[in-house]
Structure 1
């Protein structure tokens, strides 16, 4: 079932305001628990994790920044 524009917009806000900070805390916690690698390896891991978090949510974010396709068209004045 496809999400409506309003539902995608709401879920994207939930993901960005709650999910992303929780993901960042989890990643930093796991990185602190393991033995610290060299600075370049650690930077590479953080960059990779920065891209990986968005992959499962790609369908939610797609088209959210555009105008609502379900909204009635406004007549030109």
Structure 2
């Protein structure tokens, strides 16, 4: 079942406002707990984790910044 535009917009907002801060805390804690990686290993790990959160939510964020495709526009009114 595909999500409606309104539902995707709400889910995107929830993911960004609630899920993203939680993910950042977990990612930083994970990297910190791995036996003090050297800087040359930390940077790629943070880059990988930074882009890794996008993959499961890619479909939710697609087209959210665009106008609602299902909205009816009355162009006949003057």
- Give the TM-score normalised by structure 2: 0.92
Tell me by how many angstroms 1:74 deviates: 3.2
RMSD in angstroms over aligned alpha carbons? 1.2
- Which residue of the partner structure matches residue 56 of structure 1? 56
SS of the residue corresponding to residue 3 of structure 2 reads coil
Count of residue pairs the alignment pairs up: 77
Secondary structure (helix, strand or coil) at the match of 1:47 reads helix
Q: How far has the Cα of 1:31 moved from its partner?
A: 1.4
Residue of structure 1 in register with 2:75 after alignment: 75
Deviation at 1:37, TM superposition (A): 1.2
Give the corresponding residue for 2:15.
15
* Greater RCO, CA 8 A, separation 6+: 1
1:65 counterpart residue number: 65
Q: Which 10-residue stretch deviates more, 25-34 or 4-13? A: 25-34
Q: What SS does structure 2 have at the residue aligned with 1:67?
A: coil
Deviation at 1:6, TM superposition (A): 0.1
Equivalent position of 2:29 in the other structure: 29
Gaps in structure 2 of 5+ consecutive residues: none
Cα–Cα, structure 1 residues 74 and 36, in superposed 2: closer, same or farther, change >3 Å?
A: farther
